[in-house]
Structure 1
Amino acid sequence: MGKKNNTIFKPSVPFVFPMARLIGLTFLLFFSFSSATSSTNSEIIQQACKATRFPDSCQTSLTQSSNLTQTSKPSDVVEAAMSVSSQNLKTAQSMVKTILDTSSDNTNRSRTAMICLEVLHNSEHRISSASQVFPSGRIKDSRAWMSAALAYQYDCWSGLKFVNDSQLVNQTMAFMDSLIGLTSNALSMMISYDLFQDKLEDWRPPITERSGFWEDGDVFGTGAGAALRGFPLDLMANVTVCKDEGTDCYKTVQAAVDAAPDHHGGEARRFVISIKAGVYEETVRIPLEKTNVVFLGDGMGKTVITGSLNVGLLGVTTYNTATVGVLGDGFMGRDLTIQNTAGPDAHQAVAFRSDSDLSIIENCEFLGNQDTLYAHSLRQYYKGCRIEGNVDFIFGNSATVIEDSLILIRPRQVNPEKGETNAVTAHGRTDPAQSTGFVFQNCVVNGTEDYMVLYYNNTKVHKNFLGRPWKEYSRTVFINCYLEELISPLGWMPWDGEFALSTLYYGEFGNSGAGANRTGRVSWSSEIPDNHIYSYSLQNFIQGDEWIPTSS
Structure 2
Amino acid sequence: MGNNKVAVLSISAIVLVAVVATVAVTVSNRRSQSADPQLSTSVKNVQDFCRPTDYKETCEDTLSSVAGPDADPKELLNLAFNITVKHINDAIDHSTVLSEAAKDPSTSEALENCRELLDYAIDDLRRSVDRLGDFSLANLDKFLDDLKIWLSATITYQETCLDGFEGTTTDAGESMRKMLNSSSELTSNILAIVNNFDDTLSSLNLPINRKLLAEGYPSYVTPGKRRLLATSTADLKPNVVVAQDGSGDVKTIGEALSRVPNKGGDVFIIHIKEGEYKEKVHVNKTSTNVMLIGDGPTKTKITGSLNFIDGTRTFDTATVAVVGDGFVGKDLWIENSAGAEKHQAVALRVQSDRSVFYNCRIDGYQDTLYAHTHRQFYRDCTISGTIDFIFGDAASVFQNCLILARKPLDNQQNIVTAQGRKMRQEASAIILHNCTISADPAYHDFRTKMPTFLGRPWKMYSRTFILQSQIDDLIHPDGWLPWYGDFGLNTCFYTEVDNRGPGADKSKRVTWKGVKNIDYAHAKKFSVQQFIQGGKWLPKTGVPFTADLLPEGSLKFSSTSDEKMSPIVAVQLAILGRFCLQNCIGRCILHPSSHMVPELEKARVLEFQVRMDCNGCVQRIKRAMHGIDGVYNVNIDLASQKLTVVGTADPEKIVKAIKKTRKIATICSHTENTGPEQPPPPTEPAPSSDPPASDTANQPPAEPPKDDVPSQDNAVVQVEKPSPEAKDAVPVHLTDVGEIPMVVHQYPFDCIQKGQWNYYYPQRQGAIPYHPPYYVIQSYNYRSAPYPPQDIRYAALGPYDEDGYWHHGRGGDRNQITSVFSEENPGTCRIV
Q: TM class, shorter-chain normalised?
A: 0.7 to 0.9
Mapped to 1, the partners of 2:399 and 2:54 lie a distance apart of 34
1:484 corresponds to which of 469, 472, 490: 472
Mapped to 2, the partners of 1:231 and 1:445 lie a distance apart of 30
Q: CA deviation at 1:101?
A: 2.5
Does 1:44 find its partner at 2:45?
yes
1:369 corresponds to which of 353, 365, 368: 365
1:126 corresponds to which of 110, 124, 127: 124
Q: CA deviation at 1:83?
A: 2.0
Does 1:445 find its partner at 2:437?
yes
Q: C-alpha deviations, 1:151-210, integer Å up to 9, x for none?
A: 1112223334654735x765443221222112221221221135424959xxxxxxxxxx
AA aligned opposite 1:407: I
Residue aligning to 2:660: none
8 Å CA contact 1:403, 1:442 repeated in 2: yes
Residue aligning to 1:547: 537
AA aligned opposite 2:230: L
Does 1:309 find its partner at 2:306?
yes
Residue aligning to 1:528: 518
Mapped to 2, the partners of 1:99 and 1:546 lie a distance apart of 44
Residue aligning to 2:251: 251
Residue aligning to 1:392: 388
Q: CA deviation at 1:353?
A: 0.3
Could you say what secondary structure the match of 1:445 adopts?
Answer: strand
Mapped to 2, the partners of 1:39 and 1:236 lie a distance apart of 65
Residue aligning to 1:21: none
Q: CA deviation at 1:41?
A: 3.4
1:319-338 aligned at under 5 Å gives the runs 319-338=315-334
Q: Give the % identical residues.
A: 35
Could you say what secondary structure the match of 2:502 adopts?
Answer: coil
Mapped to 2, the partners of 1:97 and 1:190 lie a distance apart of 33
AA aligned opposite 1:411: K
8 Å CA contact 1:85, 1:183 repeated in 2: yes
2:191 corresponds to which of 170, 187, 192: 187
Deviates most, 54-63 or 334-343: 54-63
Residue aligning to 1:147: 152
Could you say what secondary structure the match of 1:143 adopts?
Answer: helix
AA aligned opposite 1:255: E
Residue aligning to 1:435: 427
Q: 1:143 to 1:231 in 2, by over 3 A?
A: farther
Mapped to 2, the partners of 1:324 and 1:86 lie a distance apart of 29
Q: 1:346 to 1:50 in 2, by over 3 A?
A: same
8 Å CA contact 2:270, 2:291 repeated in 1: yes
Residue aligning to 2:455: 467
Does 1:64 find its partner at 2:65?
yes
AA aligned opposite 1:333: G
Mapped to 1, the partners of 2:367 and 2:191 lie a distance apart of 28
RMSD between aligned alpha carbons?
2.4
1:72-221 aligned at under 5 Å gives the runs 72-73=72-73, 75-103=74-102, 105-135=103-133, 136=135, 137=140, 138-160=143-165, 163=168, 165-166=170-171, 170-197=174-201
Higher helix proportion (structure 1 or 2): 1
The normalised TM-score by structure 2 is 0.55
AA aligned opposite 1:157: L
Residue aligning to 2:297: 300
2:288 corresponds to which of 266, 287, 291: 291
Residue aligning to 2:350: 354
Q: CA deviation at 1:79?
A: 3.2
Q: CA deviation at 1:497?
A: 1.5
The normalised TM-score by structure 1 is 0.82
8 Å CA contact 2:306, 2:317 repeated in 1: yes
Q: CA deviation at 1:326?
A: 1.0
Q: CA deviation at 1:360?
A: 0.6
Q: C-alpha deviations, 1:31-73, integer Å up to 9, x for none?
A: xxxxxxx98633232122121111011011112234x552613
Mapped to 1, the partners of 2:169 and 2:473 lie a distance apart of 45
Q: C-alpha deviations, 1:223-247, integer Å up to 9, x for none?
A: 999xxx99731353111001113x2
8 Å CA contact 1:429, 1:471 repeated in 2: yes
Identify unmatched segments of 5+ residues in structure 1.
1-37, 201-216
Could you say what secondary structure the match of 2:404 adopts?
Answer: strand
Residue aligning to 1:278: 275
Q: CA deviation at 1:402?
A: 0.4
Q: 1:438 to 1:325 in 2, by over 3 A?
A: same
AA aligned opposite 1:452: H
Residue aligning to 2:778: none
Q: C-alpha deviations, 1:5-29, integer Å up to 9, x for none?
A: xxxxxxxxxxxxxxxxxxxxxxxxx
AA aligned opposite 2:420: G
8 Å CA contact 1:58, 1:182 repeated in 2: yes
8 Å CA contact 1:429, 1:436 repeated in 2: yes
AA aligned opposite 1:133: R
AA aligned opposite 1:254: G
Q: 1:240 to 1:462 in 2, by over 3 A?
A: same
Mapped to 1, the partners of 2:339 and 2:165 lie a distance apart of 28
Residue aligning to 1:205: none
Q: CA deviation at 1:301?
A: 1.1
Could you say what secondary structure the match of 2:483 adopts?
Answer: coil
Q: C-alpha deviations, 1:443-494, integer Å up to 9, x for none?
A: 0000111111233xxx2x2111110111100000011100011111111111
Residue aligning to 2:260: 260
AA aligned opposite 1:102: A
Query: Between Structure 1 and Structure 2, how many residues are aligned?
Result: 476
Mapped to 2, the partners of 1:430 and 1:511 lie a distance apart of 27
1:387-426 aligned at under 5 Å gives the runs 387-412=383-408, 414-415=409-410, 421-426=413-418
8 Å CA contact 1:291, 1:329 repeated in 2: yes
Residue aligning to 1:213: none
Mapped to 2, the partners of 1:161 and 1:173 lie a distance apart of 12
AA aligned opposite 2:158: Q
Mapped to 1, the partners of 2:415 and 2:323 lie a distance apart of 26
AA aligned opposite 1:98: V
Mapped to 2, the partners of 1:230 and 1:426 lie a distance apart of 35
Q: CA deviation at 1:527?
A: 2.3
Mapped to 1, the partners of 2:70 and 2:339 lie a distance apart of 62
Q: C-alpha deviations, 1:298-322, integer Å up to 9, x for none?
A: 00110000001101113x1100110
Deviates most, 272-281 or 186-195: 186-195
AA aligned opposite 1:454: F
Residue aligning to 1:214: none
Q: C-alpha deviations, 1:264-321, integer Å up to 9, x for none?
A: 12xxx1111000010001111111111111100100110000001101113x110011
Higher relative contact order (CA 8 A, sep 6+): 1
Mapped to 1, the partners of 2:109 and 2:438 lie a distance apart of 38
Mapped to 2, the partners of 1:295 and 1:169 lie a distance apart of 36
Identify unmatched segments of 5+ residues in structure 2.
1-38, 205-209, 218-225, 543-622, 624-832
Q: 1:410 to 1:163 in 2, by over 3 A?
A: closer
AA aligned opposite 1:391: I
Q: 1:83 to 1:197 in 2, by over 3 A?
A: farther
8 Å CA contact 2:104, 2:169 repeated in 1: no
AA aligned opposite 2:354: L
Mapped to 1, the partners of 2:44 and 2:121 lie a distance apart of 30
Residue aligning to 1:30: none
Could you say what secondary structure the match of 2:426 adopts?
Answer: coil
